[in-house]
Amino acid sequence: MSVFAKLTLTEIRLTLREPVYAFFTLLFPVLLVTILGNVPDMKEAPPELGGLRVIDLYAGLALGLAIGIVGLQGLPSVLATYRERGILRRLATTPAPPAALLAAQLVMNLLTMLLSMVLVYTVAIVAFDVPFPANPALFLLAVLLNCAGAFSLGLLLSALAPTGKTANAIGTFLFFPMMFFAGLWVPRELMPEILARIGDFTPLAAGQDLMTDALMGQSPGVLSITVLVGYLVVCGAAAVKLFRWE
């Protein structure tokens, strides 16, 4: 087995020992959909939503919430802690490159999000009649791009934050406005125009739009894709350039 595969398996195994992580990434989104799905108002379909019901949007938002938690809070604090505690430095003394551990963390989180996606949509589709995505391939791409946007922002945070604690604090500070723009409190479609347009340029909102497009079988928003790929390229490159290994 390659060193990278070994590291990834180890990271998965270690994450399984973190009940808080498992709760917020896997259980919490499902719980949210289940609770909201039982609120009668959620079954309504205001005309602004173009045929979708509120709950159809909230299935995506529940997954987006998990992606935001992982990307902005989990990932940066874990990576900054790995640096702070000399885990990366120890790795640098071995033939295994420390970057492989970072990549292993990213892959582990991505796999967790895909599992979360399956859980959330299984419950949403089976229990609450949320439609199966009209364009499944685009939907998968939307979820991956949503992760890419949030994770690369988190990676940049871990590159800049001096400690795991600071990384977590900054991440939390960014998390709430970004979830707001993604529509967690008021769906984007119902937001005042100006807020919705600002939201277009935040990663979790762009990801949410793209997931909605795929759900309804619309052609994907070029702006959403551009924004997410932009975060991936700009934040990713900055993180690679600025990352301090110790």
**CB of 17: closest distance to other proteins in angstroms?**
4
What the block records as the tokens of 231 is: 């975060």
Pick the stretch among 13-21, 68-76, 116-124, 230-238 that binds other proteins (CB under 8 A). Answer: 13-21
CB 149 within 8 A of CB 203: yes
Binding other proteins (rule: CB under 8 A), the pick from 19, 40, 51, 93 is: 93
CA pair distance 55, 58, nearest whole angstrom: 5
87 binds other proteins (CB under 8 A): yes
Q: Residue from 22, 96, 198, 238 that binds other proteins (CB under 8 A)?
A: 96
**Alpha helical stretches, state H, the chain:** 3-16, 19-22, 28-37, 54-68, 75-84, 87-92, 98-128, 136-160, 164-182, 193-199, 203-216, 222-242
For residues 32 and 58, give the distance between their C-alpha atoms in angstroms, rounded to a whole number.
Answer: 9
How many Cα atoms within 13 Å fall on the side-chain side of residue 35? 7
Using the rule CB under 8 A, give the single segment among 8-16, 123-131, 220-228, 231-239 that binds other proteins: 8-16
Half-sphere exposure of 94 (CA within 13 A, CB side): 12
Residue 10 binding other proteins, by CB under 8 A? yes
- Tell me the closest approach of the beta carbon of residue 75 to other proteins, in angstroms: 15
Q: Which range in 3-11, 129-137, 160-168, 227-235 contacts other proteins by CB under 8 A?
A: 3-11
C-beta closer to other proteins: residue 40 or 95? 95
Taking CB under 8 A as the rule, does residue 6 contact other proteins?
Answer: yes
CB-wise, 85 or 165, nearer to other proteins?
85
Taking CB under 8 A as the criterion, the residue among 23, 46, 90, 185 binding other proteins is 90
